[in-house]
Structure 1
Amino acid sequence: MWKWIKRLIGLTFLLVIVLAVFLIPAKVSTQEQFKNVTVNTSLVDLAQEGFSTADVTASGLQTELQLNSPQLRQVIKSMAGEMTDETLLNTAVAMNGEYINVQVPIELGPVETMVSMDFSASVTDQQLTLNLERARLGHLPIPRSLVASKIAEKVNQEGTGATMIGNQIQLTMPTSGYRIYSAKVEKGNMVLQIIVPISY
């Protein structure tokens, strides 16, 4: 009996060490946190700059914008307005390959770690859809449904301007005389196709 108790204690200790190895190194990138973002530009500003090289088409003036990670953080922060939620301020956002990576710091007892989520992006009728592709606690993969239910609690609150259905966050994009008809993330940049309708 004592032998089984020692084995159980040893196995528990080993499990704690393995979890610590996977969780402890996972720290949110401080320079990518919203609390360290200074808003110098907005999506409207970037769109206006892009129209200096726009093409004239039957639909109107058409241009392509490429946002890097710092620009994306500024656009999100300018759209969100004043951020007071501590969790949101400590959240980091960056683009990685074909995904938007969102890192949210959390504490599990004495362990400080994070939930890291990868989203793909698309736009239909000025509606931005972020699809949760995968999630990790530290470096451990976790079910998307578990993370999606927690995100939905925050996103579906009044005043966020967003809704979450299943694994998708949907957000209506601001308009200022232009229409975003395509969005995707590729090679670490968000590529937006924008049209300004021309009326005769």
Structure 2
Amino acid sequence: MVWLLSLSIVVVVPFGVVVAASSAHYYGRFPWVEATYTSEHAKSPCGLIDTSVLRRYSDAPIAVADETAGDIHTCTASTNEDRSARSARITVSATLNPTDRRARAVYDRTKDLWTTDLTGGNSGDVSNLGQDAYFAVTDVSTRAECRIGTVDDNLLLEVDMRVATAPGAAREPTDIEEIRRISEDHARRAIRQLRS
């Protein structure tokens, strides 16, 4: 009797470990583990943007607008396109997903969307940013644009920065690598603030 009970324990415990490991692999974080990011820290999305960076590209007035739709918190800062031959805009969007699995699924879809068939640009991975991150840049005659996407636990964060030239205006020199650095800096800054 005792021998049979001991045998069942030896067999069942490893099986339980295997099932738990399998669940973690396919379904993400266990439901009893608290999410890293909560909406409480994303109530003021415009606090994630340093509007002063737009002054490098335009001296027109800067407008700031935020929007919250469910768990998606977005802020856009932009210069007035009617007041300058060159305009600049940066948008930060933080989506606080209910699970890390959901965040990963949306990240994978948006990454495929933004890194496939780019016109006048290139894309790749960004190291040391969240759990995974990518960049996609476009540099054509009328605009230079960079998009950063990153996933970290249940957070999906997207930063989009664009510098555009008005139709008919001569394009001023624009460093796409500088725009990429600014976008990455905003993504890192946002993750730090949303974690605190």
Structure of higher RCO (CA pairs closer than 8 Å, 6+ residues apart): 1
TM range (shorter): 0.3 to 0.5
Structure with greater proportional strand content: 1
Could you state the TM-score of these two structures normalised by the residue count of structure 1? 0.32
Could you state the TM-score of these two structures normalised by the residue count of structure 2? 0.33
